[in-house]
Amino acid sequence: MAQFIEPFSHFVIPTKNINQPPMRSPRIFVLEPDNDVRPLLKHNLENWGYQVIMALDEADALQRIREGGERFGLILLNQNGRSIDEIIAIGRQIRQSTELDSRAPMIVMAERYGVELEGQNIQVGENEYVTYLEDGQQLRNLLALLCPV
Amino acid sequence: MKPENQILANLSADVFQRLAPHFVYVNLEQGEIIYRPGEPLSHLYFPLDCLLSLTITMQNGATAEVGMIGSREVFGINAFMGRRETTQTGCSSQVAGSAIKIDAQVVRQEFDRNGELRDLLLRSTQAFLAQVSQTAACNSLHVLEQRLARWLLNTQERINSNNLPLTQEFISVMLGVRRAGVTLAAQKLQERKVIQYRRGHVQILNQAGLEASACECFQTIKTEYDRLLGEK
C-alpha cells in the first residue's frame, strides 16, 4: 500500500565523528537512458557526496552488476517513457541480480504528474519509493534520508 | 505615449498614428491558444509584457518551442509574407500579460504602401529568424544547463522581469526535454545561487552568473536584435 513519507525536517542526519576513520562515500546505482539528463544527474549526485555507477539502459545495468560485483547503497531510476510498475520491475531485477544488496532502497523519479503530486515522495513497496520532484533539493533530501552521506 | 513593444516603439509618429486606431489591447492568460496550425491568420500580436511561444507538435504529441515572441517581436509575420496561414507552427501564451492586437489586413495594406513599416517589419523578421536559427543550433550543440540558462535570459529580456512565473514542467515542454533534466539543471544553477526556484516561479538572483552559465547563444541573439532593431 502506498505510504507518504514524513516531512524531512523531522529527520536528523547524523554528523560525523572526527575520531572515526574517513568513510567511503555511499555508492548509488543509477539507470538513466536520457543523454541530456545523465550528466546533470551524475554531477548533482557527486556534488552531494555520492559515488555514482551509471547505466544507460536495462541491459547495460544488468551487465554492469554481473561484471562489477560491487556493493551499492541505493538504486535510482528515471521513469523515462515507461510505466511506474515497469520501471519498478526493472529496479527489482537489478536488485535481485546482486545478492549482497538485496535490501538496497530504490527510488523512481516520476516523469509526468500534476501539481497535486509535486513535492511528494510515496512509498510503494518495501524500501521502494516514487518521487514526484518539485525541485532538485527534494531528491537530495530523500537521498540523505535513505542513503546518508 | 508609445507602448513597450520594441517594434511599435521604433515606428515614426506618423506611421504609429495611422495604425493606432486599429489597436486592441488584450490580456492573455497563461496557456491561452493564440493560433492553431492551418488556421487563417486574422490578427497580429505585439506583446507588451506577455510572452508567446511558437511551438511545433509532432505526430506522437510531443511538443517543443521553436521561437519566443515577447516585447522585442511581433506574432503573425506570415500576414505580410505571402500566405496567411502556417501549416506547422502554433502559438500560445506562456507568460500571462498584455499585448496589442491588430487586424492582419490593416497591417498588410500598410506594409504594401509604406516603406518605413515594411523595412521595420522585415528587419524584425530577420531578427526573429536569427533567434530561431541560433536556437536550433543551440539545441543540437549545447548541454541542457546552458540551454536552460539561455532560455531564462531570453524570457527575462522579453518580459522585463527577474521573476518568471514558470513551472519546471512547462519549461521542459518548451525546451523539448524531460522534466527531470530541467529539475537537475535548475538545481545546479540554484546551488550556484544564480536562480531560485519556488513552486512555479523562477527568480533570477545573479544576472552575470546566469549569463556565465549560458552558452554564447543568448549574447549572439541579443547582439543581432540590437543591431537590427536598436538596443532595448
Chain segment B73-102, per-residue pLDDT in tens: 999 998 888 766 677 899 999 999 999 999
Residue B60 in domain: yes
Q: Which residues contact A119 (CB under 8 A, 6 or more apart)?
A: A132, A133, A134, A138
Residue A43 has pLDDT above 80, yes or no: yes
CATH number at residue B154: 1.10.10.10
CATH number at residue B81: 2.60.120.10
Shared domain check, B108 and B148: no
- Cβ–Cβ under 8 Å, residues B117 and B111: yes
- Is pLDDT above 90 for B122? yes
Q: In chain A, whose CA is at the least distance from the CA of B175?
A: A36
Could you give the CA distance from residue B8 to residue A42 in angstroms, rounded to a whole number?
47
Q: Answer whether residue A9 is part of any domain.
A: no
Instruction: Establish if A14 belongs to a structural domain.
Output: no
Q: Which of B137, B163, B189 is the last residue of a domain?
A: B137
A97 near B CB under 8 A: no
Tell me whether B60 touches chain A (CB under 8 Å): no
- Amino acid A9: pLDDT: 35
How far apart (Å, rounded) are the C-alpha atoms in residues B116 and B125? 14
pLDDT at B127 over 50: yes
Task: Determine, yes or no, domain membership for B56.
Answer: yes
Contacts of B183 in chain A (CB under 8 A): 133, 135-136, 139
Tally of domains in chain B: 2
Instruction: Select from A35, A38, A40 the residue whose CB has the most chain B CBs within 10 Å, as the one to mutate to test that interface.
Output: A40
Any CB–CB contact under 8 A between A141 and chain B?
no
The total of structural domains in chain A comes to: 1
Q: Which of B172, B184, B122 is nearest to A137 (CA)?
A: B184
Residue that finishes a domain, picked among B82, B109, B137: B137
From start to end of chain B, where are the E strands?
24-28, 33-35, 43-47, 51-57, 63-69, 89-95, 97-103, 163-164, 195-198, 201-204
* In a shared domain, residues B133 and B153: no
Categorize the per-residue pLDDT at A14 as very low, low, confident or very high, splitting at 50, 70 and 90.
very low
Q: Which of B144, B145, B187 shows the shortest C-beta gap to A135? A: B187
pLDDT at residue A22, as a whole number: 55
Give the Cα separation of B160 and A145 in Å (integer).
Answer: 40
How distant is the Cα of B152 from the closest Cα of chain A, in angstroms?
16
Domain assignment present for B131: yes
Residue scoring higher pLDDT (A65 or A108)? A108
Residue B149 domain-assigned (yes or no): yes
Q: Are A105 and A147 in contact (CB under 8 A)?
A: yes
User: Within this chain, do residues B180 and B122 fall inside the same structural domain, yes or no?
Assistant: no
| pLDDT mean over B9-17 | 94
Q: How confident is the model at residue A26 (pLDDT cuts 50, 70, 90)?
A: very high
Distance, in Å, from the CA atom of B213 to the CA atom of B145, rounded to the nearest integer, reads 7
| The pLDDT of residue A7 | 42
Contact B188 A37 (CB under 8 A): no
In a domain, residue B19? The reply is: yes
For residue B226, being part of any structural domain is answered with no
Per-residue model confidence (pLDDT) at position A11: 37
Within a domain: residue B232? no
Q: Quick one: pLDDT band at residue A16, thresholds 50, 70, 90?
A: very low
Task: Please give the pLDDT value at position A99.
Answer: 59
Is A59 among the domain residues?
yes
Specify whether B21 is located in the same domain as B125. yes
Residue B2: pLDDT above 60? Answer: no
Same domain, B30 and B111: yes
Q: Same domain for B71 and B120?
A: yes
| Shared-domain flag, residues B85 and B197 | no
Asked if A41 and B183 come within 8 Å (Cβ–Cβ), the reply is no
E strand or H helix at B155: helix B144-159
- CATH label of the domain that carries residue A97: 3.40.50.2300
| pLDDT value at residue B190 | 94
Average pLDDT over residues B211-224: 97
Give me B33's grid cell.
491558444
Which ipTM score applies to this complex? Answer: 0.80
Q: What share of chain B is helix, strand, coil (3-state, %, to 5)?
A: 50, 20, 30
B chain contacts of residue A41, beta-carbon cutoff 8 Å? 180, 184
Does residue A7 belong to any structural domain of this protein?
A: no
Domain interval for residue A55 = 26-146
Which helix (H) or strand (E) segment holds residue A109: the answer is strand A106-109
**How far is the C-alpha of A141 from the C-alpha of A32, rounded, in Å?**
20
Query: Is there a single domain that holds both residue B118 and residue B147?
Result: no
A62: in domain: yes
One-letter amino acid for residue B38 of the chain: G
Q: What 3-state DSSP class applies to B98?
A: strand
For residue A12, pLDDT beyond 60? no
Whole-number pLDDT of residue A5:
60
Q: Quick check: B6 pLDDT over 90?
A: yes
Q: Mind telling me how many Å the CA of B177 is from chain A's nearest CA?
A: 8
Residue A40 lies in a domain: yes
B29 and B122 assigned to the same domain = yes
At residue B38, the pLDDT reads 86
Considering only CA atoms, give the Rg of chain B. 17
Residues B122 and B191 in one domain: no
Which pLDDT does position B91 carry in this prediction? 95
Claim to verify: residue B120 and residue B189 sit in the same structural domain: no
A109 touches chain B (CB under 8 A): yes
Q: Which chain A residues are Cβ-neighbours of B177 within 8 angstroms?
A: 34, 36-37
> Angle formed by the axes of helices B217-229 and B144-159, to 10°?
30
Query: What angle do helix axes A37-47 and B144-159 make, rounded to 10 degrees?
Result: 100
Chain B residues with CB-CB distance to A136 below 8 A: 183-184, 186-188, 190
Q: Is residue A10 in some structural domain?
A: no
Q: Could you tell me what percent of chain B has a pLDDT over 70?
A: 97
The chain-wide mean pLDDT, for chain A, equals 83
Of B177, B180, B188, the CB nearest to A78: B180
- A108 to chain B: nearest residue by CA? B180
- pLDDT, one tens digit per residue, over A125-142 is 889 999 999 999 999 999
Q: Is residue A8 part of a domain?
A: no
pLDDT tens for residues A74-109?
999 999 888 999 999 999 888 887 755 567 899 999
Do B153 and B67 share a structural domain?
no
Cβ distance of B190 and A136 shorter than 8 Å: yes
Which residues of chain A lie closer than 8 angstroms to B200, CB-CB?
Answer: 115
Following CA atoms B222, B125, B108, B80 in sequence, which dihedral angle do they give, to the nearest 10 degrees?
A: -160
Boundary-marking domain end, from B137, B172, B206: B137
Average pLDDT over residues B108-115: 92
Question: Are A137 and B177 inside 8 Å of each other by CB?
Answer: no
CB pairs under 8 A between A and B: 64
Most distant CA pair in chain B: distance in Å? 55
pLDDT at B217 over 90: yes
Reference B95, options B185, B12, B159; nearest CA is B159
Domain that holds residue B129: 6-137
